[in-house]
Amino acid sequence: MKKFYFSLLLVSLFCADGFGQQFEVSYSASVFDTPFTGNVVVYMSKENKEPKDGAIGRKSFPCFSVSVKNIQPGQAITIDDKAISFPIALSDIKRGDYYVQIVWDRNLGGHSIAASPGNLFNTSEKITITKDFKKVFKIVSKEMVAEHPDFKETEYVKEVEAPSALLTAFHGKEMTVNAAVILPKEYYTEPTRKFPVLFRVWGYIGNYHELSGTIEPSKQVASTAVIEVILDGNCALGHSVYANSDNNGPWSDALITEFIPVLEKKFRANGARLLLGHSSGGWAVLWLQTQYPKVFDGCWSSAPDFVDFRSFYKVNLYEAENMFYDTEGSPRLAATVAGFIPWATIKQTIQMENVVYRGEQMHSFDAVFSKKGSDGMPERICNSSTGLIDTAVFAHWQNYDIALNLRNNWASLKSELDNKVRISVGNRDNFFLTMPLICLKNR
């Protein structure tokens, strides 16, 4: 008899495991009438009515993705427990009500999947996950993320889209280096005067289109009138930080040899080039200044991303074995409140980005610092399941360790670079960006 019940239990478990909640998702021909190939991402949230807009890694919410080929409009695909998932398989997530959005990523160049123009999505739907493992949720995407409206130029704000033969050759499609240019009021009151240019690089998720229609002239740098150039670094894999990289392409070269000549020909620039940036923009300007000290004449880098890989989210990448846990087994943090109150762990962030597979912060680092992988995507600094750091991948990252570069090349850099750099940071940076600067300072 015991044997019978044990067999019955096994059969029950097998059956339960054989079916779980599923999504059957499709897109309407009314929004996109050609076949789709790419990744489909499911975003779910109990609180956020627009779950696709949730901050990946900073907020923890269930998400799932599958890769599909040649799906026709109206053709349903199934998303079930075989999908790449966070935090666990679909049928195992906590019961209850969820808002759900599906995004079909056409990967046309926008850096965030949820906000990339041309991507397909559905108006948020509320569903209830119960113990009904046979439940199938059918969701049709009928919306498309709109293109940015045309940049509205004003007397003081202009848009520059400089064609880039270098990036076009790298990506195999037409590419430009874009920016907003803000002119000083003196540009019109003193029509023969030439001005220094302040290149200001915005941080992660900044977008220069936010300046469309601005009517204010540029602010002075202390008492100096400048032409201000706003660069946002946006690219399909995150923030280019205007570095040449295996995955994003030759952004430094494009900026310096293609964009700047167009800019300086179009506007009355006097040849002086100053740099200012915060966060990823702070890293970008420090990189540009230290790599091209003859091109730029001064740099103020504010709270730059990790400038010394001996302290990458407090992980010493030269020594550590695991990105998720420290040597005592405690989870490592990716974000904090005021530098010490836990906000998000590295494990949570990387595992969510394993589902939302491009454009987010950790992937953005991989895209700049890593080689291109055999699948065409950036090699990952660590295993997304275990957190084990890939030392071969990190070997390539070291090319982008600013502190290491400075130490190794100081003799040749000193004469052109030494007085040109100022770096500032808050003493309680949310992302542990204070410590790398201390490492750099003491290097």
Partner 1 sequence: MKELNSNFQFAYYPGDHFTAYTPDWTLRPEYSKDGNQFLEQKYVEWLAKSNTEKK
Distance CA 423, CA 432 (A): 15
CA-nearest of 175, 261, 190, 272 to 227 is 272
Residue 196 or 331: the one with the smaller Cβ distance to partner 1 is 196
Contacts of 150 (CB under 8 A, 6+ apart): none
Residue 192 or 419: the one with the smaller Cβ distance to partner 1 is 419
Residue 377, SS3 per DSSP = coil
For residue 429, the minimal CB distance to partner 1 (Å) is 5
List phi, psi (to 5°) of 197: -110, 130
Could you tell me if 210 and 219 are in contact, meaning their C-beta atoms sit under 8 angstroms apart? no
Residue 79 or 285: the one with the smaller Cβ distance to partner 1 is 285
For residue 337, the minimal CB distance to partner 1 (Å) is 8
For residue 428, the minimal CB distance to partner 1 (Å) is 5
Distance CA 49, CA 72 (A): 28
Interface residues with partner 1 (CB under 8 A) are 196, 198, 200, 219, 221-224, 271-272, 274, 276, 278-279, 297-298, 300, 302-303, 337-339, 406-407, 410, 414, 418-431, 433-434, 437, 440-443
Residue 327 or 427: the one with the smaller Cβ distance to partner 1 is 427
CA-nearest of 135, 143, 137, 146 to 103 is 143
Could you tell me if 277 and 401 are in contact, meaning their C-beta atoms sit under 8 angstroms apart? no
- The alpha-helical segments, DSSP class H, found in 134-225 are 165-171, 186-189
Residue 89 or 221: the one with the smaller Cβ distance to partner 1 is 221
- Cβ atoms within 10 A of the Cβ of 188, count? 11
For residue 95, the minimal CB distance to partner 1 (Å) is 36
For residue 206, the minimal CB distance to partner 1 (Å) is 11
Residue 117 or 213: the one with the smaller Cβ distance to partner 1 is 213
For residue 256, the minimal CB distance to partner 1 (Å) is 17
Kind of pairing between the strands at 298-302 and 269-278:
parallel
